[in-house]
């Protein structure tokens, strides 16, 4: 596939010197100025929105920030009656469910996209590719309902008893197999971010120059070796990017998680038990939170989620930079 770097609409070459400004040219120039301001204005909307979001979230969570201080992050208490709030169980649930989703979806997504790009005839690859992208178009509430009514019973009847059987003394697979809980939420999340990872990773793999791969084959490499040493290495930027795209979605996913995670404000080692995430807590409790401190604590949870998400984005950028330096780009 050829990668074009020039845009058909862009002016090429140096602009002609301004001699006599004809009326038409003036109009065109005014159009340019207008265009310029529109683009500048549009570009500034985003940072302004982020700043505004930060400001209003911080402002609204002030009562809770003042009342609980740093303790908010390290306490797992969540008692609306006595007005004791802490974010630990929600943060823990968000991170653990996302972690489960990532360790499953990233390898699976990479395997699928390698298969689609390297192994399967292009015609079939395209059909399967769009089928996977279709997964991304399913609204999350559908995943949630499917998760609760179809997937959770399956987990309870088959997967969880099996895991409990092989888990032995590990604390992760203890407790009654209810079908819902941290593990189920992680699995549903994995399914939801899989299309993102797969479709971005396939695009990346398609951009690997054919010459490189052909040369590797010519030197007698096996398909696996080409995939590992050429395709994956060449596309490492994109793969990391794909991973973080999925991570971003998993961190903030709300509806599907709320349906299956079990919604309990407790931290437990077993993945079978109910847990909660920041997003699910917000979805559950926002409507009926009438006390000011309660509302403020919920807003602070939202602030924490925003900070986590932005932190992840910054980390991903730094990581990409390092990767680029290390892999030497040229290959």
Partner 1 sequence: MKKFLSAMFMTAFVLVMTHAGYGMTINGAGATFPYPVYAQWAHKYQKLKGVKLNYQSIGSGGGIAQIKAKTVDFGASDAPLKAAELEKHGLIQFPMIMGGVVPVVHIKGVGAGKMKLSPNVLAGIFLGKIKKWNDPAIKGLNPGLSLPGKNITVVHRADGSGTTWIYTNYLDKISKEWHDKVGTGKAVSWPAGVGGKGNEGVSAYVQKVDGGIGYVEYAYALQNKLAYVLLQNKAGNFVAPTIKSFQSAAAHADWTHAPGFYMVLTNQPGKNSWPITGASFILIYKVQAKAETARAVLSFFDWAYKHGAKIAMKLDYVPMPKKVVQLVETTWKKTVKDTKGNSLWR
Summarize as ranges the residues that interact with partner 1 (CB under 8 A): 77-82, 84, 148-149, 152-153, 156, 176, 178-181, 258-259, 262-265, 273-274, 276, 280, 283-285, 287-290
Shortest Å, Cβ 68 to partner 1: 16
The least distance separating partner 1 from the CB of residue 130, rounded to whole angstroms, comes to 33
Reduced to 3 states, what is the DSSP secondary structure of residue 269?
coil
Q: Shortest approach of partner 1 to residue 264 CB, angstroms? A: 5
Pair 119, 223: CB distance under 8 Å: yes
Nearest CB to partner 1, comparing residues 81 and 123: 81
Q: How far is the CB of 61 from partner 1 (least distance, A)?
A: 17
If the CB atoms of residues 152 and 305 are measured against partner 1, the closer one turns out to be: 152
Distance CA 27, CA 33 (A): 10
Q: What's 236-261 look like in SS3?
A: HHHHHHHHHHHHHHHHHCCHHHHHHC
CB of 286 to partner 1, least distance (A): 8
| C-beta closer to partner 1: residue 196 or 259 | 259
DSSP state of 20: S
Based on CB atoms, which residue is closest to partner 1, 106 or 282? 282
Q: Is the CB of 98 or the CB of 258 nearer to partner 1?
A: 258
Rounded to whole angstroms, the Cα distance separating 246 from 262 reads: 23
Q: Smaller CB distance to partner 1: residue 58 or 264? A: 264
Shortest reach from residue 156's CB to partner 1, in Å = 7
Q: Write the Ramachandran bin of 324: left for phi over 0, alpha for psi from -120 to 50, otherwise beta.
A: alpha
| Tokens matching residue 129 | 């590719």
3-state DSSP call for residue 21? coil
Cα-based distances in Å from 258 to 87, 108, 264: 17, 24, 11
3-state helix, strand, coil in the chain (%, to 5): 75, 0, 25
């Amino acid at each position: 596939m050829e990668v074009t770097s020039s845009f058909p609409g862009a002016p090429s070459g140096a602009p002609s010197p301004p001699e006599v400004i004809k009326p038409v040219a003036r109009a065109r120039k005014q159009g340019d100025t207008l265009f310029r301001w529109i683009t500048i204005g549009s570009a500034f909307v985003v940072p302004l929105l982020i700043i505004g979001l930060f400001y209003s979230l911080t402002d609204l969570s002030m009562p809770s920030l003042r009342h609980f201080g740093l303790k908010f992050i390290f306490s797992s208490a969540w008692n609306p009656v006595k007005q004791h709030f802490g974010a630990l169980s929600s943060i823990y649930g968000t991170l653990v469910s996302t972690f489960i989703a990532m360790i499953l979806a990233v390898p699976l997504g990479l395997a699928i996209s390698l298969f689609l790009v390297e192994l399967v005839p292009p015609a079939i690859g395209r059909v399967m590719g769009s089928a996977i992208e279709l997964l991304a178009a399913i609204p999350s509430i559908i995943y949630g309902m499917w998760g609760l009514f179809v997937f959770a019973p399956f987990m309870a009847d088959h997967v969880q008893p099996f895991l409990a059987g092989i888990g032995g003394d590990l604390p992760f697979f203890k407790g009654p197999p209810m079908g819902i809980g941290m593990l189920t939420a992680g699995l549903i999340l994995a399914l939801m971010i899989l299309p993102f990872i797969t479709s971005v990773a396939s695009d990346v793999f398609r951009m690997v120059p054919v010459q490189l791969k052909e040369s590797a084959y010519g030197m007698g490499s096996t398909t696996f070796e080409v995939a590992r040493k050429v395709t994956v290495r060449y596309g490492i930027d994109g793969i990391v990017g794909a991973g973080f795209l999925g991570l971003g979605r998993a961190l903030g996913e709300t509806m599907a998680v709320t349906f299956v995670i079990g919604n309990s404000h407790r931290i437990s080692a077993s993945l079978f038990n109910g847990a909660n995430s920041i997003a699910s807590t917000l979805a559950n409790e926002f409507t009926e939170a009438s006390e000011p401190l309660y509302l403020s604590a919920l807003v602070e949870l939202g602030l924490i989620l925003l900070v986590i998400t932005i932190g992840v984005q910054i980390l991903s950028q730094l990581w990409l930079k390092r990767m680029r330096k290390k892999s030497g780009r040229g290959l």
